[in-house]
Amino acid sequence: MQVPSVENVFARSWDLLVRNWVIIIPGIVVGLVIGIVAGLYDQTAPDTYGQPSGTALTFAYGFGGFVSGVVLFVLALAGYIVTQCYTVGMAGAAWQRGTTTLADGTRAVNEDAGNVLLAAVYLFLVGIVAVVLALPTLTLSLFAFYLFTLYTIPSAVVGNHRGWFALRESFAIARARFGTTLIIGILIGLLQLVGRLIAHIFSIAPLLGPIISAIITQIVIAYAVLVIVGEYLILRPQVAEPAPPPPPTY
């Protein structure tokens, strides 16, 4: 099978995004919900400045802050899983059928949320190793981590692979098609940088500024996901591992 060029993947991804703008909705909704909850927490969090001192009071405030931090972390993790499942699931459906709906994202949440959670855990652990090696490798370990894990979430959602197997497949694809992955990774990084700058400019404007900024951010994210999912679907068959032999029959 002839592998489409990077230009074709980027062009096709933009066409799919234009015809399936609904892909940006889950990220906006989840971000809005998390932002509201975090804002309410900031408004209701007790101000310990000037409060009477004492071991019990200090412990109470400290424990309350710890619990609130855990709740916000769990909420952020749940938001990450839901957003990834929706966006990647809808991107996969768009590439395979040419069109997608929120139902594709809901199906991905129901079927692949566990895969994404496990993949996120392994990504976190491998990321720690990359951070530790950042200084002796002059940050090359961080760049390698970014490139070789690029297809992990598409593997978990579109490929229906459990956490470690999704990470392993991403490494296999990036290793087999390193040149293509390198180009895709650099272009997506530049695209996200430009998108963030544009979103920041609009965020300064009053009233509608933050809304426009959030929409621009999600457009960039959805487009990047479409590109990565498209490359995953194209490159996956070329590095597919042979199926395990069937169990012996007696």
Q: Express each pLDDT in 165-178 by its tens digit.
A: 999 999 999 999 89
Pair 163, 153: CB distance under 8 Å:
no
Here the tokens at position 115 are 């895969």
SS3 state at 250: coil
Q: Express each pLDDT in 193-227 by its tens digit.
A: 998 898 888 888 777 788 888 889 899 999 999 99
Choose between 36 and 242: higher pLDDT: 36
> What pLDDT sits at residue 214?
85
Domain assignment present for 102: yes
pLDDT higher than 60, residue 45 = no
pLDDT higher than 60, residue 245 = no
| Confidence category of residue 244, pLDDT binned at 50, 70, 90 | very low
| Domain housing 208 | 8-43+68-237
Conformational region of residue 246, where left means phi above 0, alpha means psi within -120 to 50, and beta covers everything else: beta
Percentage of the chain with pLDDT > 90?
Answer: 58
> What pLDDT sits at residue 250?
44
SS3 state at 168: helix
pLDDT higher than 50, residue 117 = yes
- How far apart (Å, rounded) are the C-alpha atoms in residues 10 and 30? 26
Domain assignment present for 1: no
Domain assignment present for 139: yes
Domain assignment present for 3: no
Pair 176, 170: CB distance under 8 Å:
no
pLDDT higher than 50, residue 1 = no
SS3 state at 180: helix
pLDDT higher than 80, residue 2 = no
Q: What is the mean pLDDT of residues 21-42?
A: 84
Domain assignment present for 78: yes
Give the predicted TM-score (pTM) of the model: 0.84
Pair 152, 119: CB distance under 8 Å:
yes
Strongest mean pLDDT among 88-92, 178-182, 214-218, 232-236: 88-92
Domain assignment present for 2: no
Q: What is the mean pLDDT of residues 178-186?
A: 92
| Confidence category of residue 44, pLDDT binned at 50, 70, 90 | low
Distances (CA, A) of 61 to 2, 39, 53, 58: 62, 19, 11, 5
Domain assignment present for 63: no
- How far apart (Å, rounded) are the C-alpha atoms in residues 51 and 223? 49
- How many domains, in total, are found in the chain? 1
Domain assignment present for 247: no
